[in-house]
Amino acid sequence: FPGLLSNPKLVPVHSLNVVMNQNVTLSCSSASAPVRYTLFQHNQQVSSLNRSDSSPALFTLTISSASDLGPYKCKAEHNSSSAGKYSKSLSFTLLEPVSKPVLSSPTSHPAKGQNVTLSCFSQNGSLPITYTFFKGQQSISPPKVTHQREAAVIFLSVNSSTDSGTYKCKASNSFPNSMKYSNSFNFTLAEERSHSQALIISLGLILLLLVIGFALAIPFFIIPSYKASE
């Protein structure tokens, strides 16, 4: 006689995190035997297997679209009975690679000694996302993990031109081989900016004075020579 039928357990053989077009296996098992196992998705029968011992039923699926993620349930029933019991439902989570992150700051021209922020944000990709900040090739902060769709932020103090950059950030998640780097970002000290602006203005004034001087010199050189030729 079959043993007392218990609620079956439905578990993934590997992980509930999947990528598109991945083959996955679900295991359904019960403490009693013999048992007929049936896998359902949205109350639609997917497949059925019979087991004469306590070995689990293994159902292999292919995740080819978002509709294949679930939810799934497993039904266990004795061959001699129409009554059955169901497992808890489960669904797969589709992993997406991170998109190229954007590195930005509210100001790109801080004053010397000013505290500034750098934020790194990846618009797409499965959560959580891990962000790492770099100056050149050197990491400048511990990795920051975000469990919501939000930017990772670090705080810096720009005290000299050596603190101006070049900065980058990296985003990664649990998607296989998922890793993207941002654009580079540089700060320009406000005093350096003012010096360069002053230099440009000075050169512009010099050029303007030369043009004016040349214009004033025309009557003294061109007109006398024209009269001499008459």
Residue 107 predicted with pLDDT over 80: yes
The pLDDT score that the predictor gives to residue 188 is: 87
Q: What is the CATH code for 102-186? A: 2.60.40.10
The CATH number for 9-94, chosen from 3.40.718.10, 3.30.420.480, 3.40.462.10, 2.60.40.10, is 2.60.40.10
Q: Which pLDDT band, with edges at 50, 70 and 90, does 1 fall under? A: very low
Using CA atoms, how far residue 75 sits from 1, 58, 60, 63, 119, in Å, is 20, 13, 16, 21, 49
DSSP 55-88: PPEEEEEEE-SGGGG--EEEEEE-TT-S-EEEPP
Using CA atoms, how far residue 19 sits from 22, 32, 179, in Å, is 6, 34, 16
The pLDDT score that the predictor gives to residue 11 is: 96
**In the predicted model, what is the mean pLDDT of residues 211-227?**
65
Residue 56's contacts (CB-CB under 8 Å, 6 or more residues apart) are 27, 28, 29
Summarised one tens digit per residue, pLDDT across range 14-29 is: 999 999 899 999 999 9
Q: Which pLDDT band, with edges at 50, 70 and 90, does 194 fall under? A: very low
User: Where are the domain boundaries for CATH 2.60.40.10 in the chain?
Assistant: 9-94, 102-186
Instruction: Name the residue among 7, 76, 9, 84 with its Cα closest to residue 38.
Output: 76
Residue 6 predicted with pLDDT over 80: yes
**CA pair distance 227, 97, nearest whole angstrom:** 81
**CA pair distance 159, 221, nearest whole angstrom:** 55
Q: Which pLDDT band, with edges at 50, 70 and 90, does 209 fall under? A: confident
Model pTM? 0.62
Q: Which residue has the tokens 């030729």?
A: 229
Residue 197 class from Cβ within 10 Å (0-12 exposed, 13-18 middle, 19+ buried)? Answer: exposed
Residue 220's contacts (CB-CB under 8 Å, 6 or more residues apart) are none
Are the beta carbons of 79 and 36 closer than 8 angstroms? yes
Q: Which pLDDT band, with edges at 50, 70 and 90, does 57 fall under? A: very high
